[in-house]
Amino acid sequence: MMEKIEPILNFLKVIGMPTLFACVAYFFRICYKFGKRIDILMNAQQKQMRRDLTLDYHRYMSAGHIDDEDLDMWESAYQAYHSLGVNGIMDSRRADLIKLNSDGHRAVQ
């Protein structure tokens, strides 16, 4: 067992603790920057998705009906949007579209 650890200990002696600390600090800095960029991209994507969902919502509400296939596509986009968090108004719009779809089915039957 000791023979497996010895090369690692020798390596640590060569590079030294300050160098090791600098490498770890650099790694955490890179991870932090990457995380901030991911947050920015998620925020931008959510705003774009909200815009698209809102445009579709108004189009279907103006038309007074929504087909099952269109509702399924809207619902898929909504679920992706919803998974990004902080939703609010889209929850009520989803309920409106589901009601619009069910009202349309009752009118046809």
pLDDT in tens, 68-78: 999 999 999 99
- Residues 6 or more apart whose CB falls under 8 angstroms from that of 74 comprise 53, 56, 57, 60, 66, 97
Q: How many structural domains are present in the chain?
A: 1
Q: What is the dihedral of CA 87, 89, 92, 97, to 10 degrees?
A: -90
Domain range for 74 is: 2-108
> In which residue ranges of the chain is pLDDT below 50?
106-109
88 torsion bin: left (phi>0), alpha (psi -120 to 50), beta (else): left
pLDDT in the model for residue 16: 78
State the first-to-last Cα distance of the chain, in angstroms, to the nearest integer: 77
Of 24, 27, 17, 103, whose CA–CA distance to 65 is shortest? 103
pLDDT in tens, 21-33: 888 899 999 999 9
**pTM tops 0.85:** no
pLDDT in the model for residue 24: 86
